[in-house]
Amino acid sequence: SATTLARASLPRNMIENSMFEEESDVVDLAKDSALEPDEVVYEPRSSRLLVRGLGENDLDDEEEDYESSARLLGMSFMNRSSTHNPSSSPYNRQAPPRSCSCPSARMLVVGVFILVLVASMAMVLYFLPGCTFTKAGCGKANSSTPMEPSYPNSTNGELFPWNELRLPASVRPVNYDLSLTPNLTSMTFTGRTVINMTILHDTKHIVLHSSELIITKATFQSVEVKVLEYKPWQQIAVSFPEDLKVGQVCVLTLDYAASLSHTYDGFYNSSYNDKTGAKRVLAATQFEPQAARKAFPCFDEPAFKATFLVRITREPGYITLSNMPQVLCVCVCVGLLEDEFEQTAVNMSTYLVAFIVANFTSITRNVSNTLVSVYSVPEKKEHTHYALDTASKLLHFYNTFFKINYPLRKLDLVAIPDFLAGAMENWGLITFRETSLLVGNQSSPLDKQLIANVVAHELAHQWFGNLVTMRWWNDLWLNEGFATYCQYMSLMTEFPQLDLGNVFLGVRFKAMAKDSLNSSHPVSVSSQVTTPEQVSEMFDSVTYEKGASLLLMLNTTLPDGQFREGLMKYLDNYRGSNTVTEDLWNSLTQVAVSVSDMMRTWTLQKGFPLVTVSRKGGHVTLTQEHFLLSADNTTHTSSLWHIPVTYVNDSCSSAPSSTLNVSDSVKWLKLNYMNTGFYIVHYGDEGWTTLIDALKTDINTLTAHDRASLIHNIFSLSRLGRVSFRQVLNLLDYATNETETAPLTEALSQLSSVYRLLDKRQEQTLVARMKVNLMDSQDWGEEESVSRQELRSALLEMACSLGRQNCTDQATALYDQWTNSNQTKQIPGDLQRVVFSVAAQSDLGWLSLMEAYSSTTYDSEKRKILQALASTQDPQSIVWILSTGLEGGIIQTQELPLVISTMSDGFAGHLFVWDFVKENWDKIIEKFPVGSYPIQSIIKSTTSQFSTQTHLEEVQGFFSSLKERGSQMRSVQEALETIRLNQLWMDRNLPTLRIWL
């Protein structure tokens, strides 16, 4: 029921930085209930709103503001149907099906509800002056007594000529000429970097980045110069007696030596055992966000774009890869060859530069004048075909969708045996974990779904992130939010059989869970993202999943085609350059009505709204407030959002008046159709009762996504304390008739978190009594539907973890068949994890799985075996896996966050894991940078199931003691907040649960 709406402006009085790369947050936001300076504050006169519709001409001035907003945002008045298509895509913008007939389409109201206070609101923007380093300390400059800046000391004792973490804007690199000679025997490399640059402002010094590099010689315009280094900020500088003048073009040449990195960033070494058992070594790069400086001296900030020419010297047994095609190979001396690559055809940020030295093999295909290749270790070549097919199809899709062709002549997708992120979008040379790219042709659709997701995400980055790049990491969502959104949009269009609609719905729920905490942050953070730790923390679910959720909401709000047209305008306007969030809104405004006022309310403040529905007869009032789960007596912010509200009810109704009036005969009202809006709805006792009754009468009253939305909302409201857990269970009663994946997996996910909390309190009897239907009625044979596989996997994992005899017997039988047939009788892919996990609970099963883990070449299967091994409750096995994972070797260190996450779910595991993390913290942060996604994951998984004061104090004490080794991380605030909320939930619900159950 979408129609094109009149162009109009929103009210002018509103104010206005991988996860996906493998399941991927420094500011202490938890201590202050008020918004940070970068979170714009709205001062409402009243939080109570009447929702306006279209069709009234006699509105007063305030009402006209609602009217103009309504015309922009489009609100659909939708009707019930018993023939909802559960797989209907919010991207298709189709009208919801109807079960009642109306005289004409015009009788359906298509309008917009915007929950926003229309009274004049103060526009408050805080511009806090930056901290100026002076001899007197850190403070604000005084105009009457100018302070002389003080500079830090270089490593040689001389003053370093710069005193900020961000580089000066006086010099801009134009081109880098890089020559590298890695030695894979000594694990070292030497390099020469020639930087052609232009002077933008008169300056006496050039400052750039260098980390862990030993500069052996430096020349400027062919004259040798001295290099100063300030290691804490990873900066080097060259100073001059006279100013370099604006417009001057100059050349700085730096020769250096370094060790290949022993962590997962920079230019690092990796190894694997080939099929003969021989150890093979390779070198690869991972530069995002700030590690290009570990491989070559550079201006390592996203806005310093330049072109790159790369040469790499290698032994004949290896191949080299870089962003561009190889153009030349010359013999430089006995036993060494130098490969030269084309100069990049585009300006690139340093974090997108990449090179690899390895003995990989590839398969290739030509797609739209681009040579697409998938590289792997030779013995896994047969597992590359699905990735090549998927990448080829998606490259063609994106070329067509964006109407801007991928600009390079080649696109390599490379599976690295030892790689921390899920993948990295280096332009023309995308690197992946093996588990994110390689899959057998006979693998399950669920395994292929994972590969397709990662490939789609990284290919989207070739436009969003590579072609157009955020100016600084505070706007990382312009890269990651878009890549996440495009990943689902492209797959739902090109690979409908993968059924990504349910996955994207779950992703939106996940983002809300994080964003409901006081420790969250705005999608676009306008300050306090400077230190490496703060930059790393931007790679979190708010940046990725919330960013994608807001783009979905905007797409479903705008009239057909305008969102896509706006994106094409954005890419065209800014191709080759850098942007801030406002540039996106300005591009959309060129093709649609202004969206800036609305979207600022979603991107510049953390959190999201709770919409409360109150109804008196046919008169419906909607109010909004900040949905904030806080156990710290934190006052709710006064922030308001422009909310595009959609709804569906049980009746065909005439047009509403200027306030939302429905017929008295309308029994129920469901807001947020298909859950495309980023908000939660509370219907009040009566409203919930009518919805529950409607579902019990006819489950198809609502779409599967709307039913999942109700389940998510009521659990969230229970956590907030607005509804009792009894009401939650009342809604779940309808699920005895539920068969669709989205609502059932959401119910299972929510119940699982309750089960785990109870289990950690050793309330096993309560856990055993909480039952979910369908667990014992699942088939254990092959299942083609991805959606059914998803549901079956979730149900059976829950059943077996609760010790259901029927489940564990079936799993054991399948495992025995697999081992007795020498692993030739395959276990269905979606059942592998549950089958392996059941087997791992016995000593014999655990040992046979350990053997299988060492021998299997199927990466998806290997990963599931590792999760099963980590699910053991045997203390000796737990300790062995943790120490082995930390050392690397049999279990790669890159898998440690997964091991820890899996162990934390078990009772024995969660106690061991927390102690392990405390005892080995310094070793862990040597492997994974402070603030990085793996560290976020480790903190969350080890603490999120604690619910006692003792554990709260222990966690608080441990992280406080870390000082600069991690005490200020946002994920620490999130952990403490979560434990407090768990305490609160237990105090509120445990006595009642004991009575009910």
Q: What are 216-260's pLDDT values in tens digits? A: 999 999 999 999 999 999 999 999 999 999 999 999 999 999 999
Q: Flag whether pLDDT at 20 surpasses 60.
A: no
Complete domains list, the chain, with CATH:
360-606 (1.10.390.10), 608-631+638-770 (2.60.40.1910), 786-996 (1.25.50.20)
Q: Flag whether pLDDT at 130 surpasses 50.
A: no
Q: Flag whether pLDDT at 994 surpasses 70.
A: yes
164 an active-site residue?
A: no
Q: Flag whether pLDDT at 104 surpasses 80.
A: no
Q: What is the mean pLDDT of residues 514-521?
A: 96
Q: Flag whether pLDDT at 58 surpasses 90.
A: no
Q: What is the pLDDT of residue 463?
A: 98
Are the C-beta atoms of residues 269 and 262 closer than 8 Å to each other? yes
The pLDDT confidence band at residue 632, using thresholds 50, 70 and 90, is low
Q: What is the pLDDT of residue 766?
A: 81
Q: What is the pLDDT of residue 355?
A: 98
Q: Flag whether pLDDT at 39 surpasses 90.
A: no
The pLDDT confidence band at residue 652, using thresholds 50, 70 and 90, is very low
Amino acid of residue 860: S
DSSP β-ladder status, 279-286 and 326-333: unpaired
Q: Give me the sign of the Cα torsion angle 420, 425, 428, 430.
A: positive
pTM: 0.87
The pLDDT confidence band at residue 360, using thresholds 50, 70 and 90, is very high
The pLDDT confidence band at residue 631, using thresholds 50, 70 and 90, is low
Identify the weakest region by mean pLDDT among 390-399, 466-475, 731-740: 731-740
229: its two tokens: 């280094």
Q: What is the pLDDT of residue 662?
A: 84
Mean pLDDT over each residue of the chain, to the nearest integer? 85
Q: How far apart are CA 369 and CA 408, in angstroms?
A: 9
Q: How far apart are CA 501 and CA 489, in angstroms?
A: 9
Is there a cis peptide before residue 289, judged by omega within 30 degrees of 0? Answer: yes
Are the C-beta atoms of residues 218 and 238 closer than 8 Å to each other? yes
Q: What is the mean pLDDT of residues 262-270?
A: 94
Q: Flag whether pLDDT at 125 surpasses 80.
A: no
**More confident of the two residues 447 and 119:** 447
Q: Is 480 marked as a binding-site residue?
A: yes
Q: How far apart are CA 400 and CA 494, in angstroms?
A: 12
* Integer angstrom CA distances of residue 380 from 268, 283, 319: 22, 18, 17
Q: Flag whether pLDDT at 663 surpasses 90.
A: no
Q: Flag whether pLDDT at 86 surpasses 60.
A: no
Q: What is the pLDDT of residue 770?
A: 67
Q: Flag whether pLDDT at 394 surpasses 70.
A: yes
Please give the distance of CA 182 from its chain centroid, rounded to a whole number.
33
Identify the weakest region by mean pLDDT among 632-646, 669-683, 692-706, 899-913: 632-646
Residues 6 or more apart whose CB falls under 8 angstroms from that of 823 comprise: 852, 856
Which residue out of 229, 338, 458, 977 is catalytically annotated? 458
- Residue 602, classed as helix, strand or coil, is helix
Give residue-wise pLDDT tens across range 60-85: 333 333 333 333 333 333 333 333 44
Are the C-beta atoms of residues 33 and 634 closer than 8 Å to each other? yes
Q: Flag whether pLDDT at 972 surpasses 70.
A: yes
Q: Is 340 marked as a binding-site residue?
A: no
DSSP β-ladder status, 410-416 and 370-376: parallel
Give residue-wise pLDDT tens across range 567-615: 999 999 999 999 999 999 999 999 988 899 999 999 999 999 999 999 9
Q: What is the mean pLDDT of residues 97-105?
A: 35
Q: Is 782 marked as a binding-site residue?
A: no
Q: What is the number of H-type helices and E-type strands within the chain? A: 28, 35
Are the C-beta atoms of residues 128 and 37 closer than 8 Å to each other? yes
